[in-house]
């Protein structure tokens, strides 16, 4: 997967020693129409759709319509777009770097198409991009953003943001490719304007400006200033293009941002970037990960002296971020350990390593964890005050969010006046969209 879990685990282990008491920190990472919340306001519901999920997981865009999620979302973030060594947005069929086949070349049959019509051999746009276009047509008001970077593809962000000239060229390339939709020709697919209208904005997922991310990701002390200027450049060019098209609304600009105060301070001039960003998606997960030697919560709402969602919200607000622009990240997956010893409920105990799982050791989709919980082989444990849950069978432990936890978190969003909820990732939900439904109902105050 593009968000390399192994890389995130290594960073997690190194980051733990930097914690100070009560400081939240990040160690690893990194809905059609708006629904009114209980207070009468609207909340954002932002779900990441993974490019590679159409393969092994066989999760297609059409599944978002079939399971009811599309009607509950306000935004879909398409993960991911990559940045080249030359500092440009690009695509192509390059293993490990780009997948134009999934994006816009792969034909879908009628059963897997949102509109129920099979793709033809000569249509300029197919693949995920065409399905997203069809989904938007069926759910007016649903917005789709291209998310740039991610854990594995933030490699060249620092270079792209380095100078005024490089920033200008980088932003121009991203707008040309994704907003104007000028795709490279791939047989009968692609061409000028082929993907026009698919994307309604850009999500910046640079992990992380000014501090370490994946092993090959460059970072510099000046990244903080350069990220601020990059955000401004995106805002300027997006607004200018909207005006040139006589577009009534602007293109949206968002960012995925970290939990750790040290990472926030190293890479984010909070007050300045929040002027140009429509909102930010807060890392609300991977507070602890399965590469650590002891089991721990990964996404607690409250955790005294440890990472927490509440601590993340406070960290951003203390630095000048307005509450209504803070969108809380929630995991649709769990972190797991095996070889857990020490007895009790398993939390905070030594473990021998990441738990075996379907796609990557120590990382499992919620739909699989729900089956474990329903099987009776695992006991569900809850910290009701802390707002988190875990499964334990005496040997293996999984920390995760279920509908009960998400109800507590959506209540917190409403109480704190936050902007809404974000989830990684939509393909990990159940076939009937159980977690998406819980978030939607919770934000409605139901």
Q: Which residues are catalytic?
A: 207
d(CA 76, CA 200): 10
CA distances from 266 to 21, 97, 106, 167, 261 (A): 19, 27, 41, 20, 8
Name which of 57, 49, 56 is nearest 73 in CA terms: 49
Q: Find out whether 327 and 419 touch, Cβ atoms under 8 Å.
A: yes
Please state, in angstroms and as integers, the Cα–Cα distance from residue 446 to each residue in 317, 411, 438, following that order. 27, 10, 9
Cβ contacts of 258 within 8 Å, gap of 6 or more: 26, 29, 30, 207, 208, 264, 267, 283
Cβ-based neighbours of 351, under 8 Å, separated by 6 or more: 293, 294, 295, 337, 338, 339, 340, 341, 397
Distances (CA, A) of 270 to 160, 227, 231, 299: 20, 11, 11, 23
Helix (H, G, I), strand (E, B) or coil at 16: helix
Q: CB of 44 within 8 A of CB of 35?
A: no
8-state DSSP, 325: G
Tokens 């059409």 locate to 62
> Do 12 and 247 contact (CB within 8 A), yes or no?
no
What is the DSSP pairing of strand 93-94 with strand 98-99?
A: antiparallel
Indicate the helix (H) or strand (E) that contains 79. strand 75-83
């Amino acid at each position: 997967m593009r968000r390399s879990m192994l890389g995130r685990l290594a960073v997690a282990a190194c980051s733990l020693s930097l914690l100070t008491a009560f400081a939240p920190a990040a160690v690893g990472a990194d809905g059609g129409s708006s629904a009114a919340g209980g207070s009468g306001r609207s909340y954002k519901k932002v779900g990441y759709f993974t490019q590679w999920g159409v393969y092994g997981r066989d999760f297609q865009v059409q599944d978002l319509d079939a399971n009811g999620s599309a009607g509950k979302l306000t935004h879909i973030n398409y993960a991911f777009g990559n940045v080249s060594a030359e500092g440009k947005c690009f695509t192509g069929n390059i293993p490990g770097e780009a997948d134009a086949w999934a994006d816009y070349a792969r034909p879908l049959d009628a059963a897997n198409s949102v509109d129920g019509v099979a793709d033809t051999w000569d249509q300029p746009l197919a693949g995920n991009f065409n399905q997203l276009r069809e989904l938007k047509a069926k759910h007016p008001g649903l917005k789709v953003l291209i998310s740039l970077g991610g854990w594995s593809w933030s490699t060249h962000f620092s270079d792209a943001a380095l100078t005024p000239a490089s920033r200008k060229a980088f932003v121009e390339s991203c707008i040309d490719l994704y907003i104007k939709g000028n795709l490279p020709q791939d047989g009968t697919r692609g061409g000028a304007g082929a993907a026009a209208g698919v994307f309604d904005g850009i999500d910046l997922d640079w992990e992380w400006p000014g501090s370490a991310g994946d092993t090959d990701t460059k970072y510099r002390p000046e990244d903080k200033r350069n990220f601020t200027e990059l955000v401004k450049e995106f805002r300027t060019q997006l607004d200018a293009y909207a005006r040139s098209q006589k577009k009534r609304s602007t293109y949206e600009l968002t960012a995925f941002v970290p939990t750790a105060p040290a990472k926030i301070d190293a890479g984010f001039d909070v007050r300045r970037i929040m002027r140009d960003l429509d909102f930010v998606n807060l890392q609300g997960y991977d507070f602890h990960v399965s590469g650590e030697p002891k089991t721990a919560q990964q996404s607690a709402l409250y955790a005294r002296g440890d990472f927490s969602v509440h601590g993340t919200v406070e960290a951003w607000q203390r630095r000048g971020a307005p509450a209504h622009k803070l969108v809380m990240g929630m995991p649709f997956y769990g972190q797991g350990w095996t070889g857990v010893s020490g007895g009790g409920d398993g939390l905070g105990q030594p473990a021998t390593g990441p738990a075996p799982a379907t796609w990557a050791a120590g990382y499992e989709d919620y739909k699989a964890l729900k089956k474990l919980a329903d099987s009776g082989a695992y006991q569900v444990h809850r910290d009701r005050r802390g707002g988190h849950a875990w499964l334990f069978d005496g040997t293996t432990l999984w920390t995760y969010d279920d509908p009960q936890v998400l109800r507590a978190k959506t209540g917190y969003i409403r109480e704190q006046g936050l902007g809404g909820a974000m989830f990684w990732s939509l393909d990990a939900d159940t076939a009937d969209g159980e977690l998406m439904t819980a978030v939607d109902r919770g934000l409605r105050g139901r």
